[in-house]
Structure 1
């Protein structure tokens, strides 16, 4: 194959040149096969084979190794190179776009790496499973990437989050499902899972005898596993008492569609699934008008037609100012600009961080804090989850205003400017 210099669009330029020469009646081309072709000046075209071979033979005596080929043959070679270069450029652009979008949506790095490996293999549909921390245990995350039907370009268009009531496992422990082999009833199969949701789904789908357990899956440790549930002839016949609520409770899950890196991030979706509110300042209404709002899932409302929770939004008209609310308390993290900015950002992303708060008695205590835009305030609790009275930590000058504010919110709840939207 002819060698080309590294120049963007060169193969296309040479294709156009050869097409033009063919239209002028030339059918043969001579070039130096030992040197990369840098442009049309490196190609000598002839109308007949004899002239082309004569030119190639004469040039052998001067420099390089010149060869004569039919224009149609060299054209095919350039067309192949142009196609490969376009695909290479497209794949590189696709990977770069995915990296930027995944970073903006807070996709864990190990999931990004796994997705890129499959994209490089040209897999048309990609689903990558991972986990992110939750208040109690881990939350499942699945990202969905699809290749365009017209090109090799990839689109990251959706992710799912799911949460169960399973407790965190010890280090090096996994969920395991031991089941009968369909091919050999006397042989058992072992599958390992990091996700309790996936493990339970797989266990419940079995048709014969099966066991759901936790423990270390090595041969020497398998005998010490903790059995959570068993199945006989496709029917569950035992569930451990401590695991019963987790096993029988429905999984809380939701899907989010994204557009070129825009949408709720994975950390925001995970925090909303745990019942908290998140703030977004980049929202756009169906009429194309930008707006800002706090967002929460409506767990008590029917799901939409896509089996997702609808959102309740609290816009600017609702007059919940997080920074102003935080200033009503003696919070050490709010005393420095850097830590104050970090605290506000985490709370806007739906986290419930632990801060140091000074009470009326002058004592500082570590308390967990959470934004509650529905009622226009923030909640405090002990790190273990026990609620505490916010009034015990309010600055003296704002206590008298707080009572009136609570009454005002109660009176105007019917005038809330939240919206219910389909996700």
Structure 2
């Protein structure tokens, strides 16, 4: 058995979000020197379960095994039907186990990809529930950077407390990019409330849910247009226009700021 190969595969499983529970079974299969094998895993979630079947294959030129792909099936606890998708792995990299769960739930995931010319690019990915390819996989919709969705700028349109702290803001952005439905503290009609949010790049906004994860109106935590303009404005201190603005009524100062955007 190739020990380095075993360590490489273990590292890949951990990085892809499958943990270490499969390591013992993985080692037994590598010792058996089968041409290919599969490993099964179940991961529970708050109202559903994910079933994974991981596919491994030995190289035709060496004793090296590779983790090539996995089948993921979302099994909701309610009456909703199961949803499945096959995700392909390249050099221990690809859609993680949690990202697969989010995609099968209809959410979007932000990933760095490579085009046909081997050039890297970033895009939001979302499964198309209405369209499948010849292998039975849902087709994947991509929303590139030039599509016009900027998650950070979009969040600035909402009263979200976590955006005020740089570390919390960074964690929030990374979590939403992984497709998570993230709990935040928001302001609604002057009161602090708990809300779940998720990225919605196709419609260039976010979706908002209450604490029971039922869809809520995003407008209830959205800033007014004037607040959004002020949040994005960089004041020019010390200029003649700035000093003059201080002597003007509040309404005129707001108009001046609006023209400067």
Q: Normalised by the shorter chain, which TM-score bucket?
A: 0.7 to 0.9
Name the CA shift for 1:394/1:148 in 2 (closer, same or farther; >3 Å).
Answer: same
Aligned to 1:365: 193
Aligned to 2:16: 105
Q: How far, CA to CA, are the matches of 1:113 and 1:318 in structure 2?
A: 45
Counterparts of residues 189-200 of structure 1 (less than 5 Å): none
Match of 2:91 among 260, 267, 275: 260
Does 2:184 match 1:355? Answer: yes
Does 2:105 match 1:161? Answer: no
Aligned to 2:145: 316
Greater strand proportion: 2
Q: How far, CA to CA, are the matches of 1:327 and 1:117 in structure 2?
A: 51
1:277, CA displacement in angstroms? Answer: 0.4
Aligned to 2:37: 126
**Alignment size in residue pairs:** 229
Aligned to 1:320, the other structure's residue is in SS state coil
Name stretches of at least 5 consecutive residues in structure 1 with no aligned partner.
1-87, 168-244, 402-423
Name stretches of at least 5 consecutive residues in structure 2 with no aligned partner.
230-261
Deviations 1:83-105 (A, max 9, x none): xxxxx5xx122112212322332
Q: How far, CA to CA, are the matches of 1:308 and 1:103 in structure 2?
A: 25
Aligned to 1:283: 113
Counterparts of residues 59-138 of structure 1 (less than 5 Å): 91-134=2-45, 136-138=47-49
Q: How far, CA to CA, are the matches of 2:28 and 2:52 in structure 1?
A: 18
Counterparts of residues 191-210 of structure 1 (less than 5 Å): none
Deviations 1:343-399 (A, max 9, x none): 11111111101111112x221111110100011001111122322222221223457
Aligned to 2:251: none
Aligned to 2:21, the other structure's residue is in SS state helix
Q: Which stretch shifts more, 267-276 or 110-119?
A: 110-119
Q: How far, CA to CA, are the matches of 1:398 and 1:386 in structure 2?
A: 29
Aligned to 1:147: 58
Larger radius of gyration: 1
Q: How far, CA to CA, are the matches of 2:91 and 2:211 in structure 1?
A: 37
RMSD (CA atoms):
2.1
**Superposition TM-score, scaled by structure 1 size:** 0.51
**Equivalent residues of 1:115, 1:126 under 8 A apart:** no
